[in-house]
A = this chain, B = another copy of it.
Amino acid sequence: MKLGKVTGRVVSTVKVDSFEGIKLMLVQPLDEKLVPHGDPIVAFDTIQAGVGDLIYYETSKEAGRVLETTMNPCDAAIVGIVDNLEVEDEK
């Protein structure tokens, strides 16, 4: 999984049938300093993440497994909200 920040919502009327009723959020990937890095991701959200939350998301065919049915062409999903990163000094 990777670290990201929820930056917005994606409003979409025309879409594949299996995406009906799914909440889609815009996620900005972050680097090791939690600085934005890379292109934004459009991800499923089933854990009620809010804009501004530090989250971790995954990007693979398993993303659809956050739903009860996995037969959908989803490749990105928010899987958890980060409470705290306990990072130790590198040596």
Of B9, B56, B91, the contact of A42 (CB 8 Å cutoff): B56
Nearest CB of B to A40, in Å: 5
Nearest CB of B to A37, in Å: 6
Query: Hey, which bits of chain A sit against chain B, CB under 8 A?
Result: 1-3, 5, 7-16, 18-19, 24, 26, 28-32, 36-43, 46-49, 51-52, 56, 58-66, 71-77, 79-88, 90-91
Copies per complex of this chain: 5
Nearest CB of B to A62, in Å: 4
What CA separation (Å) do A58 and B14 show in the bound complex?
Answer: 15
Nearest CB of B to A57, in Å: 9
Contact B66 A2 (CB under 8 A): no
